[in-house]
Chain A
Amino acid sequence: MNLDEYRGIWVYIEVRDGRIAPVSLELLGAGRQMADKRGVPLAGLMIGEGIRPLAETLFPYGADQVYVYDNRIFSDYRTESYMRAVIECARKHKPEIILYGATSTGKDLASAVATDLETGLTADTTMLDVNAETGLLEASRPAFGGNIMATILCKKHRPQMATVRPKVMKALEPDETRTGEIIDEHISLNEEDIRTKVLKIVRETKEKVRLDEADVIVAGGKGLGSKEGFGLIHRFAVKIGATVGASRDAVEAGWIDHEHQVGQTGVTVTPKIYFAIGISGAIQHLVGMRNSGLIIAINKDPDALIFQSCHYGIVGDAFEIIPMLMEAFQEEPDKEVSYG
């Protein structure tokens, strides 16, 4: 494999329901920096049906080029059809790096593509850098349940690939004066070649929990004592317009659904503010929230681990403190920011 043949940085652009996933724009931001450092172009790769009009919206976010596969066969995401497009495009244009959002789709696609391209894939990356001369991608990620951080390299294979956690990279402020080139790609692929078929897509009607996109999260743990006690978390969250999170123990006690779980086996979140209430601060919980902007912990045990990983801590009983906080919000005079 002649590594020098490979040039340019790509971002797989995930489109859900006609909208570009935020993580794809974040990766364009990270990719732009690396592309500038290397002096190579940054491209988006977009697959779907009726998505071509979205391509030009990527230029303000840093893309120099966008490869587009717009075809009926891509109307639903299917591993088998989408991977064929990515593999063919990568073989044809030979990028040195391809980044994907570490969403369920991004991970599914990247895992399949990496196997066929016989190249390295780093999962759930939280830090990215590139060596300006060698072009080596330095992808770092938490490992062993967050006990260590590891930097992964892929020295002898191209493209170097990584899935990157949503909300850790920053999208650029869109610059509407930026332009670029749209490259239409085609693939000969028949429905008979694909062994899977999406029969139906069911959107759960209940308000979806988007913990990973929340700006403010109020998370409760076992310390709330009961399902009724956990109601305090819901009331506080509604009061301040926050999203509810939970520790695993609260989920396993049946007080709240699994989709609210933050941590290693739940969601990784990076809100601007994270309230940890009655949560002890086990490492599996911390890995899911420690990159939050401002962490406020309330726990009645002064030795709770969470106090070593928060910005501000209050030692005390949640059932006393939270109602007082809610009252304080109520009395906030500045109606312009519409407190309560």
Chain B
Amino acid sequence: MLHIVACIKQVPDTKIIKMNPKTNTMDRASAPAILNPYDAHAVEEAVRLKQRYGGIVSVVTMGPPPAVKAIRKCVEIGADEGYLVTDRAFAGADTLATSYAITMAIKKIAEKQPVDLVICGKMTIDGDTGQVGPGIARRLDIPPLTSVKKVVEVNKQQGYAIVHRKLEDGYEVIQSSLPCLFSVEKEINEVPYSPLPNMLRAARYNPIVWSVNDLGDIDRTLLGLKGSPTIVAKVWPPEKPKGGEMLQGSTSEQVANLMDILREKRGLFRVKEGQV
């Protein structure tokens, strides 16, 4: 029986998001909140391991109350239990403060049943750092395994896991003692359409909600804005695209024109004689 905890986050869909040009802040209302796409793979992998070895999957998120929706999405994928850790004290957390809060929540979850494995997504699409996963692992004092693209084996009896970690030009097969933490790549699995019974269960599912007071012996100075060593000093819109020069004329004139431009850069091309 494995107990796997997947860490998930609800994020604004950055594809649709609009920025307020005056304040340079996100107009959160303009973007639908979704389950961080990478975290869907984390939950899916947890569910697959549960199916393979038996066990339960808990998901945990630190976020505002509407994050319940993201937890329901995880239940659709097959998670058994969801924990929403929500409190004003967490607001403004950077990755260090976030990993602290989530670690405290995982410790509390582990009181019910010891945790064998923690799975995170590669990164979030809003924070976009990939730092929270390794941070949780360090705080739990378990090995962090990032860039995991395949889980070969999880052997609870003998206390180890074997995974493939993606490298720049291949992968490494790495063995770690359990418990440990994986940050998973998107390619680790495909998240299929959820089976109907999961959908029905998810629609009615209400997660366990904890505030800071529920997290036991927690050091409040390490939470939220106060506990964050980094601050955002300034935000500004990325350089406005100036817009390119559109080449004019007939197609062959345009191509000739482009060749003139490229000719100046010819040193950059390394064309070999006799290819194509």
Contact = CB atoms under 8 A, between A and B. Distances in A.
A180 interface: no
Contacts of B269: 216, 240-242, 337, 339
Nearest to A194: B143
A240 B266 CA distance: 10
A264 B125 contact: yes
Interface in A12-65: 16
B273 A79 contact: no
Closest 9 CB pairs of A and B: A145-B14, A120-B229, A111-B134, A123-B129, A120-B230, A310-B244, A115-B138, A241-B270, A309-B241
A295 B262 CA distance: 11
Given A314-B247, A340-B273, 14 more contacts: A107-B131, A121-B96, A144-B19, A150-B234, A151-B233, A152-B232, A154-B229, A201-B167, A215-B268, A240-B271, A312-B258, A313-B247, A321-B251, A340-B275
A276 to B, nearest CB: 10
Interface string A65-105: 00000000000101110000000000000000000000110
B229 A112 contact: no
Interface residues of A, number: 96
A258 B232 contact: no
A19 B151 CA distance: 29
Contacts of B180: 195-196
Interface string B182-204: 00001100000000000000000
Q: B137, B235, B244, B252: which has the most chain A beta carbons within 10 Å? A: B244
A153 interface: yes
The secondary structure that dominates the A interface is: mixed
Given A115-B138, A146-B238, A149-B235, A107 B130 contact: yes
B110 interface: no
Contacts of B208: none
Contacts of A115: 96, 99, 134-135, 138-139
A196 B176 contact: yes
B251 to A, nearest CB: 6
B216 interface: no
A142 B143 contact: no
A198 B235 contact: no
A238 B275 contact: yes
Given A150-B235, A265-B186, A321-B255, A121 B176 contact: no
Contacts of B162: 199
Interface stretch (A170-178, A181-189, A219-227, A323-331): A323-331
Contacts of A308: 241, 243-244
A108 B266 contact: no
Contacts of B139: 115
B257 to A, nearest CB: 8
Interface in A120-152: 120-124, 138, 142-152
A33 B130 CA distance: 28
6 contacts: A79-B144, A104-B167, A264-B125, A273-B262, A296-B258, A309-B241
A4 interface: no
A238 to B, nearest CB: 5
Nearest to B24: A148
A108 B244 contact: no
B14 A284 contact: yes
B95 interface: yes
A311 B171 CA distance: 37
Contact of A111 (B131, B171, B176, B254): B131
B241 A284 contact: no
B26 A144 contact: yes
A78 B99 CA distance: 21
Interface in A191-225: 195-204, 208, 210, 215-216
A204 B130 contact: no
Contacts of A120: 94, 96, 228-230
A3 interface: no
B176 A202 contact: no
Interface string B219-233: 000000000111111
Interface string B89-101: 0000011100100
Nearest to B229: A120
B138 A116 contact: yes
A240 B232 CA distance: 43
Contacts of B171: 201-202, 204
B172 A202 contact: yes
Contacts of B241: 286, 290, 308-309
A315 B14 contact: no
Contacts of B266: 332, 334, 337, 339
B276 to A, nearest CB: 5
Contacts of B229: 118-120, 154, 156-157
Interface string B144-179: 111100000000000000100011111111111100
B219 to A, nearest CB: 12
A230 interface: no
A144 B125 CA distance: 7
Nearest to A109: B134
A181 B161 CA distance: 42
B195 to A, nearest CB: 23
Given A104-B167, A258-B187, A144 B251 contact: no
B169 A112 contact: no
Contacts of A339: 266, 269, 271
B245 interface: yes
B218 interface: no
B111 interface: no
Contacts of B187: 258
